[in-house]
Each structure stands twice: as C-alpha cells, then as structure tokens.
Copies of this chain bind each other. A is one copy, B any other.
Amino acid sequence: MSIVQEFNEYRTKMNERIIEEDNKVLKRLFNLDTNAFAEGALDKKTKEIIGLTSSMVLRCDDCVKYHLGKCYELGFTSAQMFEAFSIANLIGGTIVIPHLRRAVEYWEELQKGN
C-alpha cells in the first residue's frame, strides 16, 4: 500500500469515527472546511495552494498531504508546487525543511498515480 493510500485510509476511517460521535461543534467544523475551499471570489486552485502553504508553515504533515492530494487533482505542476514550498520554507524557516522532504516524497507518490 502506498503512503498515499495509507494516509487516505486512516484519515477516512478516523473521520468516520469522529462524525459518528455526533459532536455538533466538530461536525460543523468539518463542514466549514468543505465550504471554505469552494469556488468563490478566489478560485479553487488559489484556495488549495493557500491551504497547502498554511499547512506547511504550521508544520502539519497530514494537512500538507491532504492539500497535496487536492493540488494534484487540480492540475498543479511540480514547478508550481516547489515555488509554493519555497515560500513556505522561507516564511517558516529551515525547521520546515523536514516537512518539505516528506511533502516531496508524497508529491512524487501522487505523480506515480498511487
């Protein structure tokens, strides 16, 4: 199983358990997440790359993986991803580099179609 499949499986499984618990605030927070990235005054691609870089400067590997998947679906090129990565690493500093390594590994996996 690829790191992409592994991530998606665990994420789906646990999100389902969280939703089952029927906590209103968490449910609405999960819904808000969907609304925030919908087409609007800013297009979907801009919103996803914002989500990606915000996740990267906050050093959240799983959030980065999620948005990398979305960015891949939306057709971003590697050159564009690396420019986004470079801004995130400059703003967030060299402590972001270990997260960059994992992001690059995941991005390459996505490109293999896994």
Contact = CB atoms under 8 A, between A and B. Distances in A.
Contacts of A23: 79, 82-83, 85-86
A110 to B, nearest CB: 14
Contact of A53 (B33, B41, B54, B101): B54
Chain copies in complex: 6
Contacts of A91: 51, 54-55, 58, 63, 93-95
Query: What bracket does the count of chain A residues touching chain B fall in?
Result: 35 or more
Contacts of A80: 41-42
A40 interface: yes
8 closest cross-chain pairs (CB), A and B: A93-B93, A62-B98, A14-B101, A25-B86, A41-B79, A23-B82, A60-B95, A92-B93
